[in-house]
Structure 1
Amino acid sequence: MSDAVRDQGTGELRLLLTLGVLLAFASISTDLFLPALPAMAEALGAAEGELELVVSTYLLGFGAGQLLWGPVSDRFGRRGPIMAGLAVFALGSAGCALATEPWHVISWRVVQALGASAGVALARAMVRDLYDRDRAARVLSTLMTVMAVAPLLGPLVGAQILALASWQAIFWTLVAIGLGTLAAVAGLSESLPPEDRSEDAIGRSFRTYAELLGNRALMAHAGAIGFFYVGVFAVVAGGPFAFVTYHGLSPSAYALVFASGVFGLMIANMVNARLVTRVGSDRMLRGGAAGAALAGLFFVVVAGTDLFGVAGLILASFLYNALNGLITANAIAGALAKVTRGAGSASAVVGAIQYGSGMIGAALVGALADGTPLPMGAVACLGGLGCLGLTLVASRTARRDDKG
């Protein structure tokens, strides 16, 4: 193997690993401190359901932030905005660590989210810059397998940090992660060459959102992701209280429950990466959405009836989370395949809907909290059924557009 080929392979591996870390920031920012939520609520004197807002407000900032970074990256390139976002993320994480009141944490989580959103939205745009639809779906599945290490290890690492130090130490760890990733991004090449960048002023770039909202295939695919993430973040926000408070699991045991779902996600991602170029991303998406609807129905049954006890809830959570591996990558690839220019803005629309919907799911669980897992299961069921409905709409719309 020549040095040039070896260097090219090494460079692509470094690129994929860095993109995987960037895509993982959505989960890194939350999963690491999930086991500490009950301890944080007690230490800060939070009312019941109040600290669940650290998830929903984070998602608000995460969705809004992507709408900012998308047009900026279409105008100025991807790398610079990602680095700026990582700096903001580190600042927000430090603010959370220094918080002394529940509303301090909630406020700084918005800042943290605004920064983290740059990496997630623009990493997807970089994949769109470099690959066609089915190849992009395969790359995204591979990246999601890499990024799944974060939620797999996050709760476990968070529980250990909590055991050895304090919940504040978890946020200082996030500061270090943000700054380390910033250094890695600084060594990447720019994926959007100057000739492919938007020549419009930033204000005009933001007006392209109106055009994107009229793209039926884009919005149907984004809506399918959005409904699914209503359920995903219902489980994220409600899980610590359902498993630790209601069923009496320890934070470390809950971390293992959470990790099992991420392990299922990794398996589904590997299956998708292997099959998608042969089967097609549209068919893989339909299969994943049908599975999400069935898993959601099972979820609400076991949560409402306590069928099989905590084991039933663990199984429902595992199934629902695992199907993310068949849904998100294929839906993102399908959405961005219908956009010829402005991939950064289109990725931002998808991300805003994805995590804005997650905010709704987390907020619903907090608002409906009754001390049982039922609200979590009911919202997950809603998410799975809605995902299937919008996926079928997306498939029909894409076929009609291809014929027309």
Structure 2
Amino acid sequence: MLDPESQVPLPKAPPPAGLVLLLTGLFANGILAGTMYLPSLPTVGDDLGAADQILPLTLTVFFATYAGGQLIYGPLSDRYGRRPLLIGGQVILVLGSLACALSGSMTAFLWSRALQGLGAASAMATGRAIVNDAYDRKQAARATSLISAALAIAPVIAPVLGGLIEHYLTWRSGFWISGGITVVVILLLILLLPETLSGRPAGPGPLLRGIAAAYGYLLRSRAFLAFGLLNLAIFAGLHGFNAAAPSVLIDTLHIGVVHYGLLMAIGSGGYLAGSLLSSWLGRRIGLLRLIDLGVLCMVLSAVGLAAYTAIAGPDVAVIIALRVLWATGMGLAQPNTVVAAVGINPATLGAGAALSGFLQTAGGGMGSAVNALFPAGDPLFLALTFGGTAVLGAIIWWSNRAAAGQALSERE
């Protein structure tokens, strides 16, 4: 593994043709594998004889191995290359999907979901590193914004596909289909993706010591923590809102289920708009100012929602309008925090991708878990926790912005 203290980037080869499109499909497949089955969840429980309170664990175990697996794939890809780790992880994802389809008990299904998550983690950890391998920072930010914009559609498509599969086929068919899609992804990777890691260390040293050195360097870097912890706060807000919103909007404010789905899709549209705007503005105002603008949008919208709800009471139109503004801010900031965190040091791109992905996933889990501490369906608690994550992110960012800017200027 390259010395983490070495900050001299190797010359970049021309990026492979169609790389952005290929990586978009790769990331989208991970989202489909993780969430497409959710409309079938009650049927899964009935078929496997599981109690209702066990069913959420099918998502928990997936994201647990999805988060932890990134910490393994990332630094290994710095040593052995992106391509073998990425393809190997996708093979594990296929095996996990097939195991889910063949599960005869909830215990077997949970283990299979954990295997799926471990395989899906390879895309997040190595895919982000591949972007930074192939492009300079400004190009990488633009590519990540375009990928993020396309991926905004995946969480909308996944439940629709899952619902159609549940209605016309069986829940097991969904996992066979997911495994088949992943086989196609593997073939495309083999045919179209060359190795993007442009050098190998002269003296690799012991594996565990190299991994520890890479993570130690990143955790000591104030700039990396500025980007990584801001991303954690963003995803805590996103998943915290998404976890609390059904009870608030459906149970408390009495909107229909179909209406609710449409409103959540509008929120995804805000992220799509922000990501596209980020791609367009990136060359004009720079990465730091884009993050400033995104953080400002998220703070104003989330804190504004808390203030409005406390003073005037809950209003569906206000909740959705401010959620769209928040999502637009996320689209402006998040692709740039990812690129900057991963690229803090050219010697640790894989480890940076892994650790930033882990923080993102951990933030989502924390945001969801916080909801268990408050009364379900209370609009004010939703608004306060949503606002709290935005304020936390703003404090993290603006107290470390100078260090982040200095680190970026040193890499130019």
TM-score bracket relative to the smaller structure: 0.7 to 0.9
Alpha-carbon displacement from aligned partner over 1:325-361 (angstroms, at most 9, x marks no partner): 1121111122233213021011111111111111111
User: Is 2:82 aligned against 1:78?
Assistant: yes
**Distance 1:166-1:82 versus aligned 2 partners, 3 A rule:** same
Q: Does 1:326 align with 2:332?
A: yes
The aligned amino acid for 2:207 is I
C-alpha distance in 2, partners of 1:118/1:354?
A: 15
**Could you tell me which amino acid in structure 2 is paired with residue 152 of structure 1?**
V
Q: 1:109 aligns with which of 101, 108, 113?
A: 113
> Which runs of structure 2 are paired with 1:5-404 in the superposition (5 Å)?
12-13=17-18, 15-36=19-40, 46-47=51-52, 51-99=55-103, 105-187=109-191, 188-195=193-200, 199-208=204-213, 209-243=215-249, 252-300=258-306, 307=313, 309-366=315-372, 368=374, 370-372=376-378, 376-401=382-407
Report if aligned partners of 1:24, 1:148 keep a CA contact under 8 Å in 2: no
For 2:274 and 2:100, the matched residues in 1 are separated by 34
Distance 1:241 1:292, change over 3 A: same
Pick closer, same or farther for the CA change 1:168–1:146 going to 2, 3 Å. Answer: same
The one-letter code matched in structure 2 to 1:125 is A
**Deviation readout 1:181-215 (Å, 9 max, x if unpaired):** 11211121111134469833422221121122111
Report the aligned-residue RMSD: 3.2
Q: Taking structure 1 as reference, are residues 145 and 224 closer, same or farther at Cα in structure 2, changes over 3 Å only?
A: same
Q: Which residue of 2 aligns with 1:3?
A: none
How far residue 145 of structure 1 moved from its aligned partner, in angstroms, is 1.7
Give, in angstroms, the shift of residue 108 of structure 1. Answer: 3.3
Contact 1:231 1:384 in 2 (8 A): yes
How far apart are the structure 1 equivalents of 2:326 and 2:384? Answer: 13
**128-137 vs 165-174, greater mean Cα deviation:** 165-174
Post-superposition CA distance 1:118-154 (Å, at most 9, x none) = 1111111011111122221111101112222312322
Question: How many residue pairs are counted as aligned between the two chains?
Answer: 394
Q: Supply the distance in 1 between the matched residues of 2:153 and 2:203 (Cα, whole angstroms).
A: 35
- CA positional deviation for 1:70: 0.7
Distance in 2 between the 1:360 and 1:18 partners? Answer: 31
Q: Deviations over 1:1-52 (max 9, x none)?
A: xxxxxxx99x522x2111112233453344434445566667765445x544
Q: Which moved more, 1:279-288 or 1:384-393?
A: 384-393
1:296 touches 1:377 (CA, 8 Å); kept in 2? yes
What secondary structure sits across from 1:12 in the alignment? Answer: coil
The one-letter amino acid of 1:234's match is: G
Q: Is contact 2:296–2:329 with CA below 8 Å preserved after alignment?
A: no
Residues 326 and 41 (structure 1), Cα distance of their counterparts in 2 relative to 1, 3 Å cut: farther
Greater shift after overlay, 143-152 or 375-384?
Answer: 375-384
Normalising by structure 1, we get a TM-score of 0.85
Counterpart contact for 1:159–1:252, Cα < 8 Å: no
1:58 Cα deviation from its structure 2 partner:
2.9
**Alignment check: 8 A CA contact 2:124 2:353 kept:** no
Q: 2: distance between equivalents of 1:380 and 1:202?
A: 41
Q: 1:336 to 1:88 in 2, by over 3 A?
A: same
Where 2:204 maps in the other structure, the secondary structure is coil
**TM-score normalised to the size of structure 2?**
0.83
TM-fit CA distance, 1:262: 1.8
SS in 2 for 1:191: coil
Cα distance between partner residues in 1 of 2:153 and 2:357? 21
1:255-302 deviation per Cα after TM superposition (whole angstroms, max 9, x unaligned) = 433322222211111111011111001100111112112232245467
Q: CA deviation at 1:376?
A: 4.5
